[in-house]
Amino acid sequence: MNRAFEYVNRMGDVYYLQSKPGKSGHPKFSFTRKLTGEPVLQLPKGYEAREHPETGQAVIRQAKPSAIRPGEKLFLERAIREHTDDLLFIVDAEDRALIVYVSDMDADARLALMRQIMPMDAATTRGMKADMQARARHEKMMRFALVDAESRLFNLDRWCVLGGIDDWYPVEGNAPLSVLAEKYLRHLGQESFFDLM
């Protein structure tokens, strides 16, 4: 039996790459938890595997080069840890932007309730907390969009859901990533986030 290409997401769930005939007759590739089509042994040339930051679901898409430098993503991840208090987040690099996703799930509060029902040792508590955090749903909150690739200047937008408007709302523009991070990351996970204009 042919083994399909496997992708393991942040939750530890295994997805299998398969193909089915598309409407045009060309194969249509997808990741599924259970194979229902023809197993695909490796990623097709020009495609990449990734997972949705919100849910962790694995998808296959045409590979997209990013104008975002790896060091910029690492910088933003470190800056979020420095400017926030134990925030559960994901930074995703898109073609010309860094998107910050945040979860409001409080694993410690949930574990405190569970410990009232059943005793847990430290190792069990750590394992359950790690599993809860891995399975937490994340929502997009901030976008650092590259507007000047040569000078490495970014615009900062925040996600807005007020009045049924689900879209990015501009906060500040044409600034280095470090300046925007220093000024705005402290608002992640805080009520003050909703006052950013």
- Residues 59-98 have pLDDT tens digits of 999 998 899 999 999 999 999 999 998 888 999 999 999 9
pLDDT band at 172 (very low <50, low <70, confident <90, very high): very high
b/e for 42-52, b at 16 or more Cβ within 10 A?
eeeeeeebbbe
pLDDT tens digits, residue range 100-122?
A: 999 987 777 777 788 788 888 88
What number is the average pLDDT over the span 167-189?
95
Please tell me whether residues 51 and 145 are part of one structural domain. Answer: no
Residues 83 and 105 in one domain: yes
Q: Indicate if 17 and 99 belong to the same structural domain.
A: no
Verify that 55 and 95 share a domain, yes or no: no
Per-residue pLDDT at 53: 92
**pLDDT score of 129 more than 60:** yes
For the chain, the domain total comes to 2
Residues 91 and 118 in one domain: yes
Mean pLDDT of 123-133: 79
Domain containing 185 equals 70-195
Chain mean pLDDT for the chain? 90
Stated pTM of the model: 0.84
Please report whether residue 1 resides in a domain: no
Average pLDDT, stretch 121-150? 87
Q: Let me know if residue 131 belongs to a domain.
A: yes
Co-location of 40 and 124 in the same domain: no
pLDDT at 163: 66
Are residues 38 and 93 located together in one domain of the fold? Answer: no
> Is 107 within the bounds of a domain?
yes
